[in-house]
Amino acid sequence: MACIDSQQLNAAIEQLSQLIAEANNVTLRERLEQVKMSYDFMLRYLAQGILDPQRNDVLSHIINQLCTLTDLCVIALQEKDSPEIIYARRRELGTTQLSDLIGQIHTQVNKLALLQSVDSEQRDRQAMLQVMKTREQCETSIFNKVWSTFPTPQGDAELIAQFIADTTVPLPSRCLMVMALFLGLMSFYDENKLILLIDSYTSSTESEVQLRAIISVLLVLNSYRSRVVRSRALSSHIVAMTEVPTFASDMSMVMYRLISTRNTDRVTRRVTQDIMPDIIKASPDLVRKLRDRRSEIDPTDLEANPEWQQMLEDNGVAAKMEQFSQLQQEGSDVFISTFSRLKTFPFFHTLSNWFMPYHSDHSVVQESFGDDEHLLRDMVAQAPFMCNSDRYSFCLTLRNIPESQRQMMRMQTQQQMADLKEMNAEQVIERRNQQRDTIATRCVQDLYRFFKLFSRRREFLPAMAGNMDFGNLPYLEDFTDSPENLQVIAEFYLKNEFDDDAVRYFTRLLANSEQTDPIVLQKLGFAYERLGNTREALKLYKRYELANDEDLWTLRHIASCYRTLHKPDKALEYYKRIEQLQPNQISNTLNMGHALLENGRTEEALQLYFKADLMDETKHRAWRPIAWCSFLLGNDERSLDYYNRIIESGNATMTDYINRGHVLLCSHQLSDAIADYRQALTLSDSKTLRETIIADSPNLQARGISERDLRLVIDAITSNH
């Protein structure tokens, strides 16, 4: 493939010839000879100076043929003995016709419809369950046949298109067919499969089918950029797809949902390491308080009981629950850490089940709920934050839950379902409008779980790895690179601190916009600042300042950039402007002091620190700079007084003990100084301690401590004696 990608086609043909000889496949050898002949003719015409307006099309066709032959050669070499799942399925279904499998599923669908046509009291539930299981086996066989067949014959392509469009086939079965096409493309690039996906979006009127198709198309186009761009056949199909009225909004939504998966690991760490541990840690204390005061507090009514709510707030549980809820509302995948442990059921050993839409006529659902648990079943079906595979995991787990816990769940479900029924008409309409986003989110989460958790996921192209940069996507640049899409994606990256990506997207947004929005300059500057590119950040902030010279946030960051660039005099100018716009702010007063201190104007800085301390009656953020300035000015008594206050507050750091040690050292209280330095060592390590003290040596030398004596002191501190 490397030779093909670099267009060294003679070398590619030679290497492929050797592989085909190893595979001993006559058909492939004949096809390669035809391709070689076409390429030789094209080169001959080129050498003779013959103009050929179709040369690029011919070349693209030759390259595509070589790619396909390479894939077929790989299959020929591995199909007989390889343990990979695709070859196992090819061996299993090699002689089975897709038309026969489709006929079998129609038979089972008709049987189930017949069994369900009688009154519910008279239905043979056991017979229905058996038909469901047989139909699911047919679905799995069809899925395996479609995804493992390469390349897709034209006859099969027609059958697949008819199957997806056939409304007599259950919707979950047709959705599964769409995902079989996608998974096949994650094994080998097959233009027929890709066209079927594109046409499924164009021709279907069902959101479940359309959104699975467009998600798949987007991932495939991104994964095979170099191959799809050479295909003329795709162009007309993609044009038709873009003419669907919902295409632009669907494309934006799907791009955002796919890119959002990049944040899943970070959200998972936040949930598992921050939010949930704190909630669990607080729970025993809450239970104890409730038990002690059960006569006073009714925990069943949170909102009506301020005292119970106060307990939650005092323990920090309310804040953590609010954070968790906020992550849910933003569409974050908050449950993957929980449900990842529930993907070991035999159900998930079957590849197709990772992509199965959740529906009530599935045997797993039927076997998981009792006749009196229809409300619980409805609640699982409507669960807004669980994807399809997680709901199947829940059902499978439910089978092992004791009856006492199931009874409690049934009672809770009754209340939750009652709450849903009380939704007003406006909320119902809003939920309906969000339906497509919900479907897309669930589908993306299903895919993410497959590529993250399936035991044999490494046998497939990792479509959801990397940064999934959909910019300049073949055939869809006008949509993927629209200012609206670039803005949304850039904002996501900035919010979640993917600053390299935020810079790239905001830069593209500036290039693609006819008129520069000043706020983009500000946000791009912030991304650069977080990346440590202070000079570029400052340039952008200054450009934004031309549009809004009284924006306090920007003025603060400009000042901060000047301080980072060691220009405290320029920083001070901006802090003074902030003071004029917003007088007597503690943080700005402190910053003015810092700028003065960095500029060598220690006495002026000290006066501002005193002013800040008078305003800051509780936090006393000025104590440290007051203590340090006093030391620099030789007022050791005042410096020690403030360092003592800091240490007595219980918030002393390593630096505080080092600095007090400096004061004591310069006051000729050597043993006390060494005691403080050793205390600092308990809060850090010897390397950090040594570097920190050495960094302060100019100030110590100014107070009469020689470098030689300072190094002796350091050795005394770090000595084991």
What would the DSSP string read from start to end of 65-87?
HHHHHHHHHHHHHHTTT--SHHH
Return d(Cα 129, Cα 39) in angstroms, integer.
58
pLDDT in tens, 403-413: 777 777 766 66
Domain residue extents for the chain: 2-78, 622-721
**pLDDT at 721 exceeding the cut of 60:** no
Return d(Cα 322, Cα 552) in angstroms, integer.
29
**pLDDT at 699 exceeding the cut of 60:** yes
The single residue listed with the structure tokens 């993410």 is 448
What is the reported pLDDT for 284? 56
Q: How sure is the predictor about 8, in pLDDT bands with cuts at 50, 70 and 90?
A: confident
Preceding omega of 151 cis (within 30 degrees of 0): yes
pTM here is 0.84
What is the reported pLDDT for 512? 86
The length of the chain in residues reads 721
Average pLDDT over residues 29-35: 94
Return d(Cα 185, Cα 228) in angstroms, integer.
12
pLDDT in tens, 616-631: 988 899 999 999 999 9
pLDDT in tens, 258-294: 999 988 887 777 667 766 666 556 555 544 554 554 4
Burial of 62 (0-12, 13-18, 19+ CB in 10 A): buried
Q: 419: how many CB neighbours lie within 10 A of its CB? A: 9
pLDDT in tens, 209-248: 999 999 999 999 999 998 898 888 899 999 999 999 999 9
Helices 602-615 & 586-598 angle (0-180, nearest 10): 170
Q: How sure is the predictor about 428, in pLDDT bands with cuts at 50, 70 and 90?
A: very low
Return d(Cα 49, Cα 605) in angstroms, integer.
80
What is the reported pLDDT for 302? 44
Average pLDDT over residues 560-566: 97
Helix (H, G, I), strand (E, B) or coil at 214: helix
The two tokens of residue 268 are 């998972």
What would the DSSP string read from start to end of 162-229?
HHHH-TTS-HHHHHHHHHHHHHHHTTS--HHHHHHHHHHHHH---HHHHHHHHHHHHHHHHHTHHHHT
The two tokens of residue 405 are 């816990």
What is the reported pLDDT for 312? 52
What would the DSSP string read from start to end of 469-495?
--TT-TT-HHHHTSHHHHHHHHHHHHH
Return d(Cα 23, Cα 71) in angstroms, integer.
12
Percent of the chain with pLDDT over 70: 88
Assigned architecture for domain 622-721: Alpha Horseshoe (1.25)
Percent of the chain with pLDDT over 90: 68
What is the reported pLDDT for 661? 96
**pLDDT at 308 exceeding the cut of 50:** no
What is the reported pLDDT for 326? 66
The two tokens of residue 126 are 């056991």
**C-alpha of 114 from chain center:** 45
Return d(Cα 514, Cα 519) in angstroms, integer.
15
Return d(Cα 347, Cα 58) in angstroms, integer.
47
* All residues at 6 or more sequence positions from 47 whose CB lies less than 8 Å from its CB, including other chains: none
Closest CA to 339 of 388, 280, 273: 388
Q: How sure is the predictor about 100, in pLDDT bands with cuts at 50, 70 and 90?
A: very high
What is the reported pLDDT for 448? 94
The two tokens of residue 157 are 């392509």
Q: How sure is the predictor about 499, in pLDDT bands with cuts at 50, 70 and 90?
A: very high
What is the reported pLDDT for 299? 42
Burial of 263 (0-12, 13-18, 19+ CB in 10 A): buried
**pLDDT at 433 exceeding the cut of 90:** no
The two tokens of residue 444 are 């993306």
The mean pLDDT value of the chain amounts to 88
Return d(Cα 247, Cα 476) in angstroms, integer.
11
Return d(Cα 21, Cα 28) in angstroms, integer.
9
**pLDDT at 525 exceeding the cut of 60:** yes
The two tokens of residue 23 are 């595979």
**C-alpha of 718 from chain center:** 46
Q: How sure is the predictor about 314, in pLDDT bands with cuts at 50, 70 and 90?
A: low
Average pLDDT over residues 103-125: 92
What is the reported pLDDT for 282? 53
Return d(Cα 144, Cα 89) in angstroms, integer.
6
H/E segment holding residue 277: helix 276-292
The single residue listed with the structure tokens 């343990």 is 83
Closest CA to 503 of 478, 550, 475, 469: 469
